[in-house]
Amino acid sequence: MIRIVDDVPRAESDSATVVEGGTVRGNVLTNDSFGADTPDLSQAVVGVRAGADTSTSAIGSLGVAIAGTYGTLILNANGQAEYKAHADAVTPDGAKDVFTYTIRDADGDESTTTLTINVTDSKLVACPDNDDIKVYERGLDLTQDSWDLAPGTVVGSAPQRASETSVGNLQGTVSGGVGAITYSLVGSATGAYGQIQINADGSYKYTLTSAPHIGNGNDGANIVSSETFTFKATDSLGNTATSTIVIKIVDDMPTAESDSATVIEGGTVTGNVLGNDVLGADGPALNGAVVGVRAGADTSTSAIGAVGLGIAGTYGTLTLNANGEAVYKANANAVNPAGAKDVFTYTIRDADGDESTTTLTINVTDSKLQACADYDVKVYENALDLTQDPQDLAPGTVLGSNPASPGETATGSLVGAVQGGSGALTYTLVGSATGAMARSSSMPTAATSTP
């Protein structure tokens, strides 16, 4: 008797390497042997499963996706294998995905082994954008120009400039990855103070639409705040990395422009000192733009306090309110014909604490009021009598030579004796109404007026 010993197949372990997100293909039968009982090679593989357990045969699941830890394997009966690694699947150290498959020869003998896929890191890294991107509150306006992503909600001190919008580029912030890199925004395009647009090629644009009201005090046109957005870089295999874009916002400053007004002595002039001032994008301080006023022309330091109170100048009194309303009352008879100036200093403050100080100058002009002596009236001693007739102011104390005459009393008018002044004139007596010189040939009376 001749005994024939069966030959058996031998499945050798297989391995392949692929970068995360990538695809690797091959045939697991290439290094396997079937011996004398070679089967139909199109049906040599009879099963596959995830994992490294080769103690039992893997039966079935051919031609369907088998989920591993880091990707998906499709293994066909003819040995053709395709493994698609998940994007962003592994750490920088990489990882292994192991599957078990079984082959069978023509008389039913089987052999089971493993297919190991080494998944490597794509090394895609995104760094924060280090472009020094700044936008300026002063450029804010209410119009969406062709350069802007959106209109502003407030007006800055220099709205004619386009400085509320700035651009940058993310190319150079990303390393590693496979193939071309595309860029996208993570999260909302609308931030706390403006809007951003990120294009696939990495170029981006940011438009400031409102001013941060952050109370940093009177610290000048510095970087008052910043806005951060997250971007994502994606390589050709779908691997991603994220990082940030930081937009720096430069504070707007108020500018107080000098003011002046003219008033006649004794008169009152009103106005608003904020009419020519620029508060900028931040707007006025909470309790009003004007925070202080004082007499004098020293603008080297801020004027703080005394708002709403009467401030005595050299020639009159100023009252300046927080809303900029100003009332100056010039003293009567305050200046000589050449006139004079009263100077005050005031300070404005914006909503985040920046200040600007300037002057208010009041030009006080002379009223040119002049009273001349009046010599038009005569009274006669010979008409004196001891009786206070209806036309008399008082009875006489002696008798004249013609007491029947009314000549001891006379009337006149000061109209025409006064020049200049402002408005209607009124007249009053200076001193006693009782004359001291009974023999005076005339009785001039000084005239005064109040505007």
* pLDDT one digit per residue (tens) for the chain, 451 residues: 888 866 789 999 999 999 999 999 999 999 999 887 788 888 999 999 999 999 999 999 999 999 999 999 999 999 999 999 999 999 999 999 999 999 999 899 999 999 999 999 999 999 999 888 999 999 999 999 999 999 999 999 999 989 999 999 999 999 999 999 999 999 999 999 999 999 999 999 999 999 998 766 777 777 889 999 999 999 999 999 999 999 999 999 999 999 999 999 999 999 999 999 999 999 999 899 999 999 999 999 999 999 999 999 999 999 999 999 999 999 999 888 888 999 999 999 999 899 999 999 999 999 876 666 666 678 888 877 878 888 877 887 888 787 777 867 777 666 655 555 666 666 666 767 676 544 433 333 333 333 3
Residue 40 lies in a domain: yes
Residues 307 and 241 in one domain: no
Tell which residue, 232, 249, 231, 233, has the closest CA to residue 166: 249
The reported pLDDT for the residue numbered 381 is 82
* Domain assignment of residue 336, yes or no: yes
Specify the number of domains making up the chain: 3
110 and 195 housed in the same domain: no
Is 109 in the same domain as 176? no
pLDDT of residue 6: 66
Residue 359 in any domain: the answer is: yes
The pLDDT score that the predictor gives to residue 426 is 67
End residue of a domain, out of 120, 147, 168:
120
Q: What is the pTM of this model?
A: 0.76
Other C-beta atoms closer than 10 Å to the C-beta of 62 total 18
Cα(392)–Cα(411) distance, integer angstroms? 10
| Structure tokens that stand for 79 in this block | 């040995």
* 142 and 220 part of one domain: yes
Does residue 420 lie within any of the structural domains? no
- Compute the distance between CA of residue 30 and CA of residue 342 in angstroms, rounded to an integer: 104
**Residue 142 neighbours by CB under 8 Å, 6+ apart:** 151, 152, 153, 154, 155
- Tell me the sheet residues that pair with 274: none
Instruction: Let me know: does 347 contact 303? Beta carbons within 8 Å.
Output: yes
Task: For residues 173 and 91, state if they share a domain.
Answer: no
Q: Is 423 part of a structural domain of the chain? A: no
Q: Are residues 149 and 48 in the same domain?
A: no
Report the distance separating Cα 266 and Cα 262, nearest Å: 12
**One domain for residues 21 and 89:** yes
Residue that the structure tokens 């992503």 belong to: 149
DSSP 172-215: TSEE--SS--EEEEES-SB-SSEEEEE-TTSEEEEEE-S-----
Structure tokens at 232: 């994502």
Closest CA to 262 of 178, 194, 330, 177: 330
Q: How much is the pLDDT for 445?
A: 36
Judgement on whether residues 297 and 326 belong to the same structural domain of the protein:
yes
Note the pLDDT of residue 419. Answer: 56
**Domain membership flag for residue 379:** no
Flag whether 131 is in a domain: yes
Residue 407 lies in a domain: no
Within 10 Å of residue 67's Cβ, how many Cβ atoms?
11
Query: Is 114 found in the same domain as 131?
Result: no
Which residues make Cβ contacts (< 8 Å) with residue 415, sequence separation at least 6?
none
In angstroms, the CA 130 to CA 37 distance is 67
Tell whether 134 and 33 lie within a shared domain. Answer: no
The pair of structure tokens assigned to 112 is 């089971």
pLDDT of 214: 78
CATH number of the structural domain spanning residue 327: 2.60.40.10
User: pLDDT at position 184, please?
Assistant: 98
Within this chain, do residues 241 and 311 fall inside the same structural domain, yes or no? no
Residue 360 is encoded by which pair of tokens? 């208010």
Which pLDDT does position 444 carry in this prediction?
A: 39
Q: CB count, 10 Å around CB of 124?
A: 23
Final residue before a domain boundary, out of 77, 94, 120: 120
Cα–Cα distance between 33 and 140 in angstroms, integer? 77
State CA 330 to chain mean position distance.
Answer: 41
Last residue of some domain: 365, 400, 424? Answer: 365
Tell me: do 42 and 74 sit in the same domain: yes
Question: Which residue range forms the structural domain that includes residue 316?
Answer: 259-365
**CA–CA distance, 382 with 407 (Å, rounded to integer):** 8
> What is the structure's pLDDT at 322?
98
